[in-house]
A and B are shown apart, each in its own frame.
Chain A
Amino acid sequence: MGIIQRNNVKQLPHANPDAPITIYAHGFGCNQDMWHLLTPEFAATHRQILFDYVGSGRSDARAFDALRYSSLAGYAQDLIEVCDALCLSKDVIFVGHSVSCSIGILASIQRPDLFSQMVLVGPSPCFLNDPPAYSGGFERADLEGLLALMDQNYIGWAEYFAPVVTGSQADSPITAQLAGSFCSTDPVMARQFAQATFFSDIRQELGRCTTPSLILQHRRDTLVPLPVGEYLNTHLKHSVLQVLDVTGHCAHMSHPDQVASAIRHYLSGSDSCVLP
């Protein structure tokens, strides 16, 4: 199966093949459509690439491997494979939201040359509290409650009860009504993504990341408290922290103009650093 089909990779049309390349990675619970308000801002200046992780959006559910996608490393592999399939080996600008920031960081450690810069929208290296040094915002019971909540929301999904019978969901067809939905193609895969997302802890990896990054922290974000952005800025090399005066966790959807201008400013600023 081709990676392009597997990850539903889309390249937004651009006249200049030599324009800088941006790849957008969606967060948990969403798909590439979440970028639809931001991408117009860069249509003129960047070649833009969108994709869905396996198990999300219109990806090919048959490629879902429960073991591979039980940790963020599996999703990072998706990201790297998409770049490889497009023959991108360096100077890509990475834009990720929420858990995809962690995925991008993991990918950049594996391929230090792949990304020239990373834009991290609402990143969190660890959602769990780890007192006294770290406060991710949640207790384990909260995150287990989230999984229970997801289960309850998936009751209406016939597929959710299928795995009991088949023992595997790899061959389940993507039904047409689900393909159009905004979330995952399959509740079991969504649950796995949730588990990988909310129980991961990449704090130990941060020091190994050498790619410069812009951290866009929401000022009032119940998912990622302010100190998390500061923690990241302290532990990531070559990072810049910018707090957006925004409530919520999806500034690129609620305030795309603010996010666009922050990115533009960051990219031009670092450009001027490089130029003589």
Chain B
Amino acid sequence: MFYLERLPCPVVVTNCNGHVLHTNRDFRQLVAPENCDYLDSYFPPASRIFLHSYAWPMLLKNGEFSELYLQLLTTNGQLLPVMTNARISQTESEQVVIWVFFVAKERQRFEAELLKARQHAQETALQLTEVNAELQYANAQLSEYAQEARIKADKFAHLSLTDPLTNLGNRRALTRNVKQWMLTANSQSVSSLLLIDIDFFKQINDRFGHAEGDNVLRNVAQRLLDSARAQDSVIRHGGEEFALWLPNSDLEGATRAAKRVHQHISRIQVAGESITVSIGVSSMALNGHEAGILLEHLLAQADIAVYEAKAHGRNRTICFADQSQPSCVGSDKGEGKALAESAHSLPGIHRLNGRF
């Protein structure tokens, strides 16, 4: 007992029920000057719970435990951090538990810091996870917007290149196709253009209404597509005027195409009468022109030719040929019965000499 009394650390001896049998001098000085009945009284609630849910079962199972961190409650209300060892020993009369406490103020301080750092790291990790989730959400939204924007852009691009009534390309689309063709063409490459004007279209509109007029336009568009090759471009040039552009085709090829167009169009009937068209043909070598210039020339020449075709009684094809080009070969005339009274078949495809 002498040595227990003078051990340089607080010591308590209890029975196996936690009833206090002895305390030593250090314990009385540091914790409580008077003995309590039960060990529990020396601990604050949190340590009491830990003692009973953890320390006592371990003690009863293994006969001892070591290095448990607990807090003692001093008589002046202070919490004293301690590392605790305890062991059950058999004395002559009964089993006792010896509890030894090592005051761990310093240790508690830096361990508290460590825990704070851990908590901070945990919070940071959590924040990072949250930020990451937000970023992912924003990213997903951005992709969605981009997708929408792409769809809209495609739609606008389509609209900007398309005539909404016939779904054919427009002048812009034709320019684009010519430009694409020029990427692979050389300066000798020839292309031709058919300018196709529906005869007496105004009368169709006047007599049968605009709905029927639109119907005719759609039918003509379809027939033109039927007469075109895969590489050709059919566009609605405006009003009742269409253009068929034939890359790598000379005047001869274009003339054949014009014949096909006349045949196809003649199958369209309004009130039992066939539709006819007047066609102006032009043909040009590339000769270093830009796409826009080439098209302008082709259209201007074809326009003159159409005008001639109209002037010569409609339902026919006239080829524009300048001095440098050979004369138009072959001849053609529109087929079928013309719609208007004044329409009458005139023979042949005619060569138009001239310049603009």
CB within 8 Å of B: which residues of A? 27-30, 33-34, 36, 98, 127, 138-139, 142-146, 148-153, 155-156, 160-161, 163-164, 167, 182-183, 198, 220-223, 246-250, 253-254
A146 contacts B50, C-beta separation under 8 Å: yes
A248 to B57, CA, bound (A): 10
CB of B17 within 8 A of CB of A149, answer no
A-B contacts besides A142-B45, A222-B51, A223-B52, 8 pairs, CB < 8 Å? A29-B54, A127-B49, A148-B46, A163-B122, A182-B58, A183-B58, A250-B57, A254-B60
> Which residues of chain B from 27 to 60 have any CB-CB distance to chain A below 8 Å in the complex?
38, 40, 44-54, 56-58, 60
Distance in Å: Cβ of B119 to nearest Cβ of chain A: 9
Contact A138 B45 (CB under 8 A): yes
Is A248's CB under 8 angstroms from B52's CB?
yes
Q: Judging by beta carbons under 8 Å apart, are B47 and A149 in contact?
A: yes
Best-buried of B18, B61, B129 by chain A (most CB within 10 Å): B61
Residues of B within 8 Å of A164, CB to CB, are: 118, 121-122, 125
Provide the bound-state CA to CA distance between A183 and B121, in Å.
26
Which interface residue of A142, A149, A163 has the most chain B CB atoms within 10 A? A149
With the chains together, A223 CA to B52 CA distance in Å?
7
* Contact assessment for A250 and B46 in the assembled complex, using a CB-CB cutoff below 8 Å: no
Name the one of B18, B71, B111, B125 contacting A167, with C-beta atoms under 8 angstroms.
B125
- Give CA–CA (A153, B104) in the complex, Å: 13
Chain B residues in 8 Å Cβ range of A36: 61
| B52 close to A146 (CB less than 8 A) | no
Interchain CA distance A152-B46 in the complex, whole Å: 12
B114 at the interface (CB under 8 A from A): yes
CB distance from B347 to the nearest CB of A (A): 89
Q: Cβ of B53 and Cβ of A29 under 8 Å apart?
A: yes
Minimal beta-carbon separation of B165 from chain A (angstroms): 61
Q: Which residue of B lies closest to A144 (CB)?
A: B46
B286 smallest CB distance to A (angstroms):
66
How distant is the Cα of A253 from the Cα of B56 in the complex, in angstroms?
9
Q: Does any Cβ of A come within 8 Å of B19's Cβ?
A: yes
A177 to B19, CA, bound (A): 33
Chain B contact residue count (CB 8 A cutoff): 38
Report whether B52 and A145 are in contact in the complex, using a CB–CB cutoff of 8 Å.
no
Q: Is the CB of A34 within 8 A of B61?
A: yes
Distance of A275 Cα from B125 Cα, bound (Å): 62
Nearest Cβ in chain B — how far from A226, in angstroms?
15
Task: Rank and list the top 7 A-B pairs by shortest CB-CB distance, nearest first.
Answer: A145-B46, A142-B45, A247-B17, A29-B54, A249-B52, A253-B60, A146-B46
How far does the alpha carbon of A163 sit from the alpha carbon of B129 in the complex, in Å?
Answer: 14
Chain A residues contacting B129 (CB-CB under 8 Å) are: 167
Q: Which of B62-70, B231-239, B276-284, B311-319 forms contacts with chain A? A: B62-70
| Mask: chain B, 309-345; 1 = CB below 8 Å from A; 0 = not | 0000000000000000000000000000000000000
Of the residues A144, A151, A183, A249, contact of B115 by C-beta under 8 Å: A151
List of B residues within 8 angstroms of A223 by Cβ? 48-49, 52-53
- Minimal beta-carbon separation of B231 from chain A (angstroms): 60
- Nearest to B41 among chain A residues (CB) is A222
Min C-beta distance of B67 to chain A, whole Å: 8
Check if B98 is an interface residue, CB within 8 A of chain A.
no
Chain A residues whose C-beta falls within 8 Å of the C-beta of B108 in the assembled complex? 152
Question: B268 to chain A: which residues have CB within 8 Å?
Answer: none
Asked if B53 contacts A98 (CB within 8 A), the reply is yes
A-B contact pairs, 27 of them (CB 8 A): A29-B54, A29-B57, A30-B57, A138-B45, A143-B46, A144-B46, A146-B49, A149-B71, A152-B115, A153-B50, A153-B68, A153-B69, A155-B115, A160-B118, A161-B118, A164-B125, A167-B125, A167-B129, A182-B57, A183-B54, A198-B49, A220-B38, A223-B53, A250-B60, A253-B56, A254-B17, A254-B60
Q: Would you call B291 an interface residue if the criterion is a C-beta within 8 Å of the partner chain's C-beta atoms?
A: no
- Nearest Cβ on chain A to B138's Cβ, whole angstroms: 21
Q: Which A residues are CB-close (under 8 A) to B67?
A: 156
**Cβ of B182 < 8 Å from any Cβ of A?**
no
- Chain B residues lying within 8 Å of A248, measured Cβ to Cβ, are 17-18, 52, 56
* The residue from A127, A149, A156 contacting B50, defined by CB atoms under 8 A apart: A149
**B18 proximity list for chain A (CB < 8 A):** 247-248
| Inter-chain contact A152/B69, CB cutoff 8 Å | yes
B57 contacts A253, CB within 8 Å? yes
Is B228 an interface position by the 8 A CB rule? no
User: With an 8 A cutoff between CB atoms, is B4 at the interface?
Assistant: no
Collect the chain A residues with CB atoms within 8 Å of residue B50's CB. Answer: 146, 149-150, 153
Asked whether any CB of chain A lies closer than 8 Å to the CB of B346, the reply is no
> B118: which A residues are within 8 A, CB to CB?
160-161, 164
B285 at the interface (CB under 8 A from A): no
Query: Is there a chain A Cβ closer than 8 Å to B16's Cβ?
Result: yes
**Residue of A27, A142, A152, A155 contacting most chain B CB atoms (<10 Å):** A152
Min Cβ gap A274→B in Å is 34
Identify which of B57, B62, B114 contacts A155 (C-beta below 8 A): B114
Interchain nearest-CB distance for B18 vs A (Å): 6
- Which of B45, B62, B67, B121 has the most C-beta atoms of chain A within 10 angstroms of its own C-beta? B45
CB-CB < 8 A to A27: which residues of B? Answer: 53, 57
Q: In the assembled complex, which residues on chain B have CB atoms less than 8 Å from the CB atom of A98?
A: 53
Question: How far, in angstroms, from A184 to B31 measured CA to CA in the complex?
Answer: 31
What chain A residues lie within 8 Å of B57 (beta carbons)? 27, 29-30, 34, 182, 250, 253
Q: Separation in Å of the A165 CB from the closest CB of chain B?
A: 8
The answer for the CA separation of A200 and B47 in the assembled complex, in Å, is 19
CA of A29 to CA of B47 in the docked complex: distance in angstroms? 14
Task: Verify A249–B56 contact, CB threshold 8 A.
Answer: yes
Q: Are A145 and B40 in contact (CB under 8 A)?
A: no
Which residues of chain A are near B47, meaning CB under 8 Å? 145, 149
